[in-house]
Amino acid sequence: MKSLYIDTANSGISGDMLLASLLSLVSDSNEIIADLKELKHFLKGVSHIELELTKVKRMGVVVNQLKLAIKESKNHRTSNALYNALERFLLEKNFSEPAKIYAKKVLNTLFEAEAEVHGDLVENIHLHELSSVDTLIDILGVTKALDKLGGFNESFEYYYSKVPLGGGSIKTAHGILPVPAPATAKILELSELVVFGGPIEKELVTPTGVALLVNLKPKFARFTNQMKILRVTYSTGQKEFKNFSNVLRLIYGESEETISTPNMHPLQKYVEDVTVLETDVDDVSGEMLGNFINTMENEKILDIQVLPSITKKNRPSHVIKILCHPENSFEIMHKIINELSTLGIRFYTIKRVCVDRKFEKSKIDINSKTYELNFKISYVKMNDEINVINVKPEFEDLKRISKESTLSIKDILFYCQSEIKKHFESSKKTK
């Protein structure tokens, strides 16, 4: 599985910085740059675009930098003008469908943030700071580079570091405003990005840069994920700061779990990260615990356990353990605190192997009456074969049939045996 780690810790992020780094990851960057220069034919008022990928030194390190020169007769454009130019470019320059969707989402994110800040409809927005052609160059260039990298494949993963916002104030078309700019702040407000102020009193993130990052839906991570590094690239923006490198780093690689080796066990591809949440409660009644379990069934949990225990003061208590996906952990912790009034929750992320499963509908005949039920089939793909682990009728269906037929669940299971065998055999034949 290919992945891209976007390390913004020493740079923040802007559209041109991200594009400058990505161009070093693709083999035909000159072709992308040549296409972007043709954007002058898609926007009225643009007579010339000069775009060049150069090398500069930052803190003694050679990094990429984009040099952009534009001759244009407009100082602002409507959202419709930019959106129409983007759509035409995407169509004529052969972007993949997922890439088109991404580019449109990025531009919409910018429009919607500006509209929200100004309290107006998107179609009425006249963009100033975002109006020039470099906004489209950043969006379209980044999108094309990621498209060539395979970045819109479902298996491709994005990670990012904590994002520094900078500080101080900036001069805008609306006067002096604090960092981050209102549009940037609105995009961040609606995102789940992890950010921090500083480390310098300058603007380190731009609306375009943040919109590009947010719409990749990256996972926050310190660079500790196991990875086979394939390429590392560096870039900088147009500003140079004292004692701050302003260097964006991209690490392109392959997750170690998915690196194919001759001795790779088939179960390795089923490895995934899960988070365990734990808390102790010694002042909650059995009724409250039962209601809590029922409540959590509607949440994004994978499993829940309530275990009897003894606290340090020899009071009877319960340990509640919940399994969930890492991205849902804090949402679930908030629910636990509200429901149980617990004062603390332990959490840690581990790896698990979780095999494939599928559901198939079937029918069984009991005493001349036909009932529908679902079977859960769990299996592992072993090279070109399917190893069926288990075939099991859904318990809720068994309860329903038991109620309708007045037979015990144990009796109904006897009637299911032929269907279980049939699903077992047919699943093994499925490639």
Same domain, 348 and 381: no
Distance from C-alpha of 79 to C-alpha of 75, rounded to nearest angstrom: 13
Same domain, 202 and 222: yes
Q: What number of H helices and E strands is found in the chain? A: 11, 20
Same domain, 90 and 185: yes
Distance from C-alpha of 133 to C-alpha of 51, rounded to nearest angstrom: 12
Which of 183, 166, 146, 140 has the alpha carbon at shortest distance from 16?
140
Distance from C-alpha of 405 to C-alpha of 11, rounded to nearest angstrom: 68
Half-sphere exposure (CA, 13 Å, Cβ side) for 200? 16
Distance from C-alpha of 306 to C-alpha of 300, rounded to nearest angstrom: 17
CATH number of the domain to which 388 belongs: 3.10.20
CATH number of the domain to which 309 belongs: 3.30.70.1380
Which of 221, 149, 257 has the alpha carbon at shortest distance from 5?
221
Number of Cβ within 10 Å of residue 353's Cβ equals: 12
- Full domain range(s) for residue 396: 356-429
What's residue 108's pLDDT?
92
The residues near 395 (Cβ < 8 Å, ≥ 6 apart) are 409
Same domain, 324 and 253: no
Same domain, 176 and 293: no
Please check whether residue 161 is in contact with residue 8, taking contact to mean a CB–CB distance below 8 angstroms: yes
Same domain, 253 and 294: no
Same domain, 322 and 252: no
Token pair, residue 43, equals: 């926007």
Residue that finishes a domain, picked among 226, 258, 290: 258
Residue that finishes a domain, picked among 332, 353, 374: 353
Number of Cβ within 10 Å of residue 78's Cβ equals: 15
Same domain, 204 and 64: yes
Number of Cβ within 10 Å of residue 211's Cβ equals: 28
Same domain, 281 and 226: no
* Burial of 88 (C-beta count, 10 Å sphere; 0-12/13-18/19+): middle
Q: Beta partners for 7?
A: 249
Same domain, 310 and 409: no
Which amino acid type is present at position 369? K
Q: Count the domains in the chain.
A: 3
Angle (nearest 5°) at CA 75 between 73 and 79: 115
Angle, in degrees to the nearest 10, between helices 97-118 and 207-214: 130
Same domain, 8 and 97: yes
Residue that finishes a domain, picked among 234, 258, 282: 258
Per-residue pLDDT of the chain (431 residues; tens, 9 = 90+): 789 999 999 999 999 999 999 999 998 899 999 999 999 999 888 889 999 999 999 888 899 999 999 888 766 778 888 899 999 999 999 899 999 999 999 999 998 888 887 665 455 455 544 457 889 999 999 999 999 999 999 889 999 999 999 998 887 766 788 888 888 999 999 888 999 999 999 999 999 999 999 999 998 887 655 678 999 999 999 989 988 999 999 999 987 554 444 556 777 777 788 899 999 998 888 888 889 988 888 788 899 999 999 988 788 989 999 999 888 888 899 999 988 888 889 998 888 888 888 888 888 888 888 998 888 888 887 766 778 888 888 898 999 999 988 889 998 888 888 888 887 777 766 54
Same domain, 75 and 157: yes
Which helix (H) or strand (E) element contains residue 376?
A: strand 369-382
